[in-house]
Amino acid sequence: MITGRYPNLRLRRNRKESWSRRLTQESTLSPNDFILPIFLIDGSNKRESISTMPGVYRYSINRISQVVDRAIKIGIPMVALFPKTKNSLKNEIGSESLNENNLVCKAIIEIKKRYKNKIGIMCDVALDPYTSHGHDGLIRSNQIINDETVEILINQSLLQAEMGCDVLAPSDMMDGRIGKIRKALDKSGYQNVQILSYAAKYASSFYGPFRDAVGSKGSLKGDKKTYQMDFRNSDEAMREIALDIKEGADMVMVKPGMPYLDIIKSVKEKFKIPVFAYQVSGEYSLISNAIQKKIVNKDVVVESLMAFKRAGANAIVSYYADRIDKILK
């Protein structure tokens, strides 16, 4: 509450000089606030551009070190791994997700071998990069089957934990999967593996470039509205998050980010749990293309990222993370 009134109270006084603005700023950004997504592809010595995501690339396993080296150098705490699976390896049940020689498993082993615990590894727990239909779950009679999907997600989680993944991030939005994954991890001796739940993941139109990046866009049949959340709803997000916390989530994700700042703020205020925001591919591409076309200037990047911190996010998954040291200069 403001006590006082003009002219004795002049709020512009604190804004008149740069040093004063720095002293009174309420939110800050540093490399510690970021998670860097890395897209993976088969092959050797590959760095493949993604047409819908300017400045973002897919890397073969033997080239991810150049990305991780930079992440460590600038102080990024964690990378997130996302595979582009060959179509020949996809099927109705996403069985490649359980292959210990899949791209994610190979990347975990490579990063842990080279860097030990200098940087954290986050792994997506979901079937959509591996299914021929592009959905996050098994399909029967044109319906996404919840409980049988969860059983596969449990096995996927255990495999990733066995390979050395630090943070499992179920993004599938199946009911009950956090509790069952936590129970399976603890029973198998992985009590210290963290769970970052995509607890409030909305059925959004902002995911298109990501689906290009992992190769699921062309195969996706229908939409994901029967399991991802309705963008009209906020109370439902609180229920989803409350359930996941009760089931054992260590951290929660709100996705997409900028259109859902109200959700981030509400989650932080209500639950006092680490809240992560995902500045998704559509947000990134809109901003990057607008900068390239000189519709806006590059300062909008910091402004957009600061919005997440102001809303209460502890960390941000962003495709700008590998350049954040230069962006913040």
Annotated catalytic residues are 201, 255
DSSP assignments along 224-251, one per residue? STTTSBPTT-SHHHHHHHHHHHHHT-SE
Name the 3-class secondary structure at 49: strand
Q: How far apart are the first and last CA of the chain?
A: 34
Concatenated DSSP letters for 87-139?
A: GGG-BTT-GGGG-TTSHHHHHHHHHHHHHTTSSEEEEEE-STTTBTT--SSEE
Nearest CA-CA partner of 135 in 255, 222, 37, 231: 222
Q: Residue 318, Cα to own-chain centre: how many angstroms?
A: 8
Which letter, b or e, does each residue of 113-122 get, where b requires 16 or more Cβ atoms within 10 Å of its Cβ? eebeeebbbb
Nearest to 318, CA basis, from 273, 288, 274:
288
Residues forming beta bridges with residue 197, ordered by sequence position: 252
